[in-house]
DNA sequence: TATATATCATGATATATATCATAAATGATA
DNA sequence: TATCATTTATGATATATATCATGATATATA
């Protein structure tokens, strides 16, 4: 299968376009020797809260969820990370241990780079430092923006947001297979599972979407966008 | 008054402990020549959404709010920044224009440092780069944490959170003068103004707090913390 | 000082959302 | 295949929250 095609040299990695574009061959070789790629199956946990942080984690392929376990066992999903996202947010600079847990919601390939190497490269390679921070800033900014987007809306607007997120930003198609359960959608938008299901049914009855289990197709994009806009 | 005591040399700035602690005298002189301190009176706007970003902004003294104006004129407060916080979040690296507006909620002194100087220093001074990113990462992380803290709670828990925030993190005292209106509290925790007032009254009737206009005193910290914990 | 305007306050009511209950459908597992 | 657990689904009910209305204070402004 596609995912098993391992990239063995950073130089040939299609994701080099990211913050690593301006690295010299020497620097790339250094990363290459200390990096570690691993395939995680859907549902597999990649890291847990309170684990020591030793690597910079970069999502090559797949989809993962970043979440926190609340005191009452409930999980709260902070964000869904896509390929090319660094996962684990900024904690890598401001914390010694992971603040969030990460689990694959689709088969995913994660590339681990020793954090000391990255820090050292920031120290010695100014251009890389800037490139790197531009990228991770953008990811952190987008997490904050997403949280605000969700929290300033009510149920219908939030569901519309999620549907548009998957269709436009993740799968780039009006038809997609929802990679998370209704319960997880609820954990992502701070709503009860029942209401997530209810609103999806409503949208189906109103012919805004078509649902068959996990398969979702957006039929009336304009109306969905209107629901999102109105909140 | 205290705030009018201007610091004219970065070398003597009491906030040098921040990310600038490891800078050489030469680097400090460079910043000193290109920096700009300004006092803003309570209510004065420091910057607006969509303005081009040209400076790194650092809060020396006072208190400011970071907010976004929604389509329907409603303002949504993202965070309250305290002295030593860099304000404006990470947008400075990932955006050309301000994403949020900033207004002083107490008389505040903001120090502006030319963004190019900072970027250049990141490029040329590796130790500074790391120090700097540790700090701004911590601020961004704390904004995300705050948003989650607020959104996973309901009305009572949110109000408790806000009261504890001001008492513990901002004023370091159980007795303080709330620097923002009830309406602004509502904008900060995504609730209606009436309900903010109502819950504050409730807490007063239950002898958890004492209120006299803006003056608030926490009488029963344990109970308030319990309300916060239970959400 | 008088007048306007924003803030604070509280009750009544409407609305949104969560919770509880129950069941069918699906998926996992022995 | 049979059994169990999870997910999806929907209705009824309870609860939380917003909205509307109205008045009292406080604050700004002419």
- Looking at the DSSP bridge assignments, the partners of residue A38 are A110
Most confident of A141-150, B124-133, B199-208: B199-208
C-alpha span between A136 and A129 (Å, rounded): 11
Q: What is the mean pLDDT of residues A50-70?
A: 91
pLDDT at A152 over 80: yes
Collapsed DSSP state (helix, strand, coil) of residue B203: helix
Which bases on strand C have an atom closer than 7 Å to a protein beta carbon?
A: 6-12, 16-21, 26-27
Q: From residue A52, give the alpha-carbon distance in Å to each of A37, A92, A99, A145.
A: 19, 10, 10, 28
pLDDT-derived band at B72, boundaries 50, 70, 90: low
Number of H helices, E strands in chain B: 8, 11
Q: What is the pLDDT of residue A15?
A: 73
Q: What is the mean pLDDT of residues B175-199?
A: 96
Q: What is the mean pLDDT of residues A149-170?
A: 95
Q: What is the pLDDT of residue A189?
A: 95
C-alpha span between B102 and B56 (Å, rounded): 13
Q: What is the mean pLDDT of residues A163-172?
A: 96
Residues in chain B closer than 8 A to A229 (CB atoms): 71
Q: Distance between the two ends of chain B, CA-based, in angstroms?
A: 41
The percent of residues in chain B predicted with pLDDT above 70, rounded, is 96
Q: Does A94 touch chain B (CB under 8 A)?
A: yes
Collapsed DSSP state (helix, strand, coil) of residue A178: coil
pLDDT at B118 over 70: yes
Phi, psi (rounded to 5 degrees) for B58: -130, 125
Q: What is the pLDDT of residue B66?
A: 95
Q: What is the pLDDT of residue A104?
A: 95
Cβ-nearest to B141 among A71, A90, A123 = A90
A152 and B76 in contact by Cβ < 8 A?
Answer: yes
Strand D proximal to A182 Cβ, under 7 A: yes
pLDDT at B1 over 80: no
Give me the CA B182–C1' D24 separation in Å, rounded.
16
Nearest CA among A35, A92, A101 for reference residue A64 = A101
The pLDDT tens digits for A102-115 are 999 999 999 999 99
pLDDT-derived band at A5, boundaries 50, 70, 90: very low
Q: Which of A59-63, A73-77, A190-194, B168-172 has the lowest mean pLDDT?
A: A73-77
Q: What is the pLDDT of residue B230?
A: 87
Q: Distance between the two ends of chain A, CA-based, in angstroms?
A: 41
Q: What is the mean pLDDT of residues B144-152?
A: 92
Cβ-based burial of A17 (10 A; exposed 0-12, middle 13-18, buried ≥19): exposed
Q: In this structure, what DSSP letter does residue B51 have? A: P
The pLDDT tens digits for A111-128 are 999 999 999 999 999 999
Q: What is the mean pLDDT of residues B48-70?
A: 92
The percent of residues in chain A predicted with pLDDT above 90, rounded, is 68
Q: What is the pLDDT of residue A85?
A: 86
Question: Chain A closest CA to B231's CA: distance in Å?
Answer: 10
Q: What is the pLDDT of residue A72?
A: 65
Test mutation, A74, A101, A133, chain B, max B CBs within 10 A: A133
C-alpha span between B18 and B11 (Å, rounded): 12
Residues in chain B closer than 8 A to A189 (CB atoms): none
pLDDT at B84 over 60: yes
Evaluated on CA atoms B38, B41, B44, B45, the torsion sign reads positive
The pLDDT tens digits for B156-182 are 999 999 999 999 999 999 999 999 999
DSSP per residue, A118-155: HHHHHHH-HHHHHHHHHHHHHHHHHHHHHHHHHHTS-H
Give me the CA A150–C1' D20 separation in Å, rounded.
26
pLDDT at A1 over 60: no
Question: Chain B closest CA to A39's CA: distance in Å?
Answer: 28
C-alpha span between B193 and B190 (Å, rounded): 9
Question: Chain A closest CA to B72's CA: distance in Å?
Answer: 10
- Looking at the DSSP bridge assignments, the partners of residue A52 are A97
For residues A58 and A118, the answer to whether their CB atoms sit within 8 Å is no
Residues in chain B closer than 8 A to A68 (CB atoms): 148
Nearest CA among A170, A175, A15 for reference residue A84 = A15
Cβ-nearest to B141 among A89, A138, A141 = A89
The pLDDT tens digits for A16-34 are 767 788 888 888 888 888 8
C-alpha span between A191 and A153 (Å, rounded): 11
Q: What is the pLDDT of residue B3?
A: 46
Mean pLDDT computed over every residue of chain B: 90
Q: What is the pLDDT of residue B6?
A: 60
Q: Does A117 touch chain B (CB under 8 A)?
A: no
């Amino acid at each position: 299968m596609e995912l098993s095609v391992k990239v063995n040299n950073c130089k040939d990695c299609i994701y080099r376009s990211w913050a690593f574009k301006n690295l010299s061959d020497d620097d790339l070789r250094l990363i290459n020797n200390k990096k570690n790629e691993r395939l995680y199956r859907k549902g597999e946990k990649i890291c847990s809260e309170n684990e020591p942080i030793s690597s910079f984690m970069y999502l090559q392929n797949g989809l993962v969820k970043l979440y926190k376990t609340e005191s009452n066992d409930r999980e709260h999903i902070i964000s869904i990370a896509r390929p090319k996202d660094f996962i684990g947010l900024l904690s890598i600079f401001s914390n010694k241990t992971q603040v969030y847990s990460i689990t694959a919601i689709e088969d995913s390939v994660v590339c681990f780079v020793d954090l000391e190497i990255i820090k050292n490269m920031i120290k010695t390679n100014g251009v890389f430092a800037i490139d790197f921070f531009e990228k991770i800033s953008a990811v952190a900014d987008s997490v904050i923006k997403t949280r605000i987007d969700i929290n300033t809306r009510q149920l219908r607007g939030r569901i519309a947001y999620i549907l548009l997120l998957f269709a436009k930003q993740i799968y780039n198609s009006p038809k997609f297979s929802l990679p998370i359960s209704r319960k997880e959608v609820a954990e992502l938008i701070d709503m009860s599972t029942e209401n997530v299901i209810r609103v999806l049914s409503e949208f189906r009855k109103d012919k805004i979407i078509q649902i068959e289990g996990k398969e979702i197709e957006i039929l009336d994009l304009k109306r969905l966008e209107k629901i999102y806009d109105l909140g």
